[in-house]
Structures are given as structure tokens and as C-alpha cells.
């Protein structure tokens, strides 16, 4: 079961806001002693932003992406944490066909994960059976990129 809602609004000729919202309650339908939770199934995803593009040379945007917690095993006893990351962009129009753009990622340097898994792994010196734990692919730290974009 789920609900998705996509919204776009032009507040002025040069300001647009948007929001994509998805809420779910994903479950296995088969009866299984392991449980009914679907590992990795998000309960919510939110992506929203504001874009400013005046007729002048400077433009920009600010975006937020939020993933809700998710079960990592079928019985729901181990869950990941929520992830919220802010990104932004500011630019300058050099001409009708060229733009100079500075992009900022993970603006607030959130120490969060892009994805988590739960399984047994083994480091040197640990028991042969390993140890069950959450394994994380971390989100990139605060970073920036500058570039020139050309339109043809």
C-alpha cells in the first residue's frame, strides 16, 4: 500500500517550488516465520526544492532529499536510520548558451548513510561464523563542484 504526491508551483515567473512525496507500507503477503517486512523498503521518500531563475544573470536552487527508516531484516527488529541531505546550486549565465555553475552537495555535512544492509561479516580475529551487524554505504561528505554548461 502506498501514496505518492507530486507538486509543482510557480510562485512567480522566476520562482518554482516542487515536492515529490511517497509513503508506503510494503509487506510480504506470504506467511513466513522470518516475518513480513521487506528489507530495504522505505516507508517514505521526500524530495523537495525551490528554484530561482530571474531574467538576470544569477540563478540558483536549494533541494532536500529525505529517506525514512527502513527494515533491514524480515522481522523488523533491525532498522536503518532516516537520511536527510541538502544540496544546492548557484550559477551565472555567461550567455544564452553558456552557464557557470557551482553545485554544493550535503551542504550541512550530514553523517548519514545512502543505504544500509544487515548481514554477517568477519574481520581478522573474529569467530569463523562472523558477526551480524549493519553495513553502511555512507553518503558523500560536504563537497562542491564547479563547471561550465553549454547548450547546443
* Per-residue pLDDT reduced to its tens digit, 82-130: 999 999 999 999 998 999 999 999 999 999 999 999 999 998 888 888 8
In the predicted structure, residue 149 carries a pLDDT above the cut 90? yes
Tens-digit pLDDT profile for residues 21-38: 999 999 998 888 889 999
pLDDT interval class at 52 (50, 70, 90): very high
Q: How many CB atoms lie within 10 A of CB 141?
A: 10
Q: Per the structure, how many domains does the chain have?
A: 1
Domain residues for 100?
2-150
d(CA 24, CA 67): 12
Tens-digit pLDDT profile for residues 125-144: 888 888 899 999 999 999 99
Q: Does this model's pTM top 0.95? A: no
Phi, psi of 77 (to 5 degrees): -80, -15
d(CA 142, CA 131): 31
Amino acid at each position: 500500500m502506498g501514496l505518492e504526491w507530486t507538486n509543482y508551483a510557480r510562485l512567480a515567473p522566476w520562482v518554482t517550488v516542487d515536492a515529490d512525496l511517497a509513503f508506503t507500507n510494503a509487506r510480504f503477503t506470504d506467511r513466513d516465520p522470518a516475518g513480513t517486512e521487506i528489507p530495504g523498503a522505505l516507508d517514505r521518500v521526500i524530495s523537495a526544492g525551490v528554484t530561482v531563475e530571474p531574467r538576470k544573470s544569477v540563478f540558483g536552487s536549494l533541494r532536500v532529499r529525505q529517506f525514512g527508516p527502513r527494515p533491514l531484516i524480515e522481522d523488523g527488529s533491525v532498522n536503518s536510520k532516516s537520511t536527510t541531505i541538502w544540496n544546492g546550486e548557484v550559477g551565472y549565465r555567461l550567455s544564452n548558451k553558456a552557464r557557470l555553475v557551482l553545485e554544493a552537495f550535503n551542504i550541512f555535512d550530514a553523517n548519514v548513510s545512502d543505504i544500509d544492509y544487515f548481514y554477517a561479516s568477519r574481520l581478522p580475529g573474529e569467530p569463523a561464523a562472523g558477526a551480524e551487524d549493519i553495513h553502511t554505504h555512507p553518503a558523500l561528505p560536504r563537497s562542491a563542484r564547479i563547471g561550465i554548461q553549454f547548450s547546443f
